[in-house]
Amino acid sequence: MSKELSERKKKILHALVDLYITTGQPVSSSDIQSKYLPEVSSATVRSELSALEALGYIEQPHTSAGRVPLKEAYKFYVDSISASGSEATALTDQETAFIRDRFFKRLEHIEDMSKAAAKIISDATNYTSFCIERSSMDIEIEEVKLVPLKGSKAVVLIVTDKGMLANKAIDLSPDVKEEYVETASSLLNKIFQGRNLMDLENFDLSEIDVEIQGFKDILDEVLKILRIYVSSHSDTVVVEGALKMLDYPEYSSVEDAKTFLSVIEDRENMAQILSDDGSIELSVRIGKEDNGVDKCAIVTAAYKVGDEVVGQAGVIGPERMDYKKVIGVLELMKNTMSAVIDGSTKHITDGHSED
């Protein structure tokens, strides 16, 4: 494996994967010969195939069948296409323009970029796609405000450097005075101002213990809001076109389809699986031991702002997927999305999107 393959072996291996990707059928020596190597005979191809089989690249489903690529073969194939910089050929300019265009159309409409991107990727490739937003908790509290409303209600506003965080109506006992609200407000500010959400667990409340009497309820309320925010804003995963996988013969049994879908549906699991190569620009994982899903390959691209990875977009499809196209689409979307995020300051408004 570590040994370099001969040029002809490379050509044959590449041809075999190419053919297998398009047909889905075991590839015979004469297929390769007639379509890729007319200068030699099929017998020659056969002996090369034997050698490749011995090297662990390919295998035969049974004695009298053609050859099928193994994991190693796909790896070789992916390397060869990404090395040769052939993404240029994978997507035409029109396709690129079209995809971009559709993405921005959608973006205007839904606001949620991950959703839009997942949809576009799935549509463009015809495979199941996903987007993961790695949520950052690097948020600094700028201001906490207790705003009295009519009746005995009040609302807590938490303003951060990234936007407004959360609000919640709470009930005050009916006989509170305006003064109380102001004191509480300033106390809350004293406690929380300048704090970072990442350190939530470390908030040391003992130091301000003395002043707390009478305000404990409100303090708890605010902490609760923050905790809920942190816990509910873990990485978000959106999946698009989950059913598209069922179009491929790899998943023609309901059993297999079911296990596939249940893995995909488990968002936490997905986030977990893909967290490993979060920082890799473009990663390809093939086979169950690699990615947790049987008979599948997962291609992911990480999109960044500056050096920070803010999310991943990817495709999950059969091992024999159209890697050229997928890689092309993902590269495109990666760049597009990075640019979009970079351009717009992101506000963490609570609830509705702001468009």
Partner DNA sequence: GTTAGCAGTCAATGGGCGAGAGTGCTAGCA
Partner DNA sequence: TGCTAGCACTCTCGCCCATTGACTGCTAAC
Among 137-145, 207-215, 279-287, 298-306, the segment contacting a second copy (CB under 8 A):
137-145
Dist CA 128 CA 121 (whole Å) = 8
Shortest separation between residue 20's beta carbon and DNA, angstroms: 12
128-133/141-148 β-pairing: unpaired
Is residue 67 part of the contact set for DNA (CB under 7 A)? yes
In 3D, which of 68, 63, 57, 79 has the Cα closest to residue 31? 68
Binding residues among 208-227 for a second copy as defined by CB under 8 A: 225
Question: What token pair was written down for 249?
Answer: 């013969």
Closest CB to DNA among residues 33, 122: 33
3-class DSSP state for residue 246? helix
According to DSSP, residue 67 is labeled B
- C-alpha distances out from residue 234 to 178, 271, 283, 310, Å: 37, 10, 23, 12
Closest CB to DNA among residues 29, 128: 29
Shortest separation between residue 345's beta carbon and a second copy, angstroms: 11
| 9, 11, 42, 269: which one binds DNA (CB under 7 A) | 42
Q: Cite the beta strand spans of 161-254 per DSSP E.
A: 163-171, 236-240
- C-alpha distances out from residue 152 to 91, 149, 187, 334, 342, Å: 62, 7, 20, 50, 43
Shortest separation between residue 208's beta carbon and a second copy, angstroms: 21
Is residue 59 part of the contact set for DNA (CB under 7 A)? no
Is residue 66 part of the contact set for DNA (CB under 7 A)? yes
Closest CB to a second copy among residues 143, 331: 143
Shortest separation between residue 181's beta carbon and a second copy, angstroms: 13
Is residue 205 part of the contact set for DNA (CB under 7 A)? no
Percent of the chain as helix, strand, coil, to the nearest 5 = 50, 20, 30
Site residues (vs a second copy, CB under 8 A): 142-143, 145, 147, 149-150, 153, 155, 157, 159, 163-164, 166-169, 225, 228-229, 232, 242-243, 246-247, 251-254, 257-258, 261-262, 265, 347, 349-355
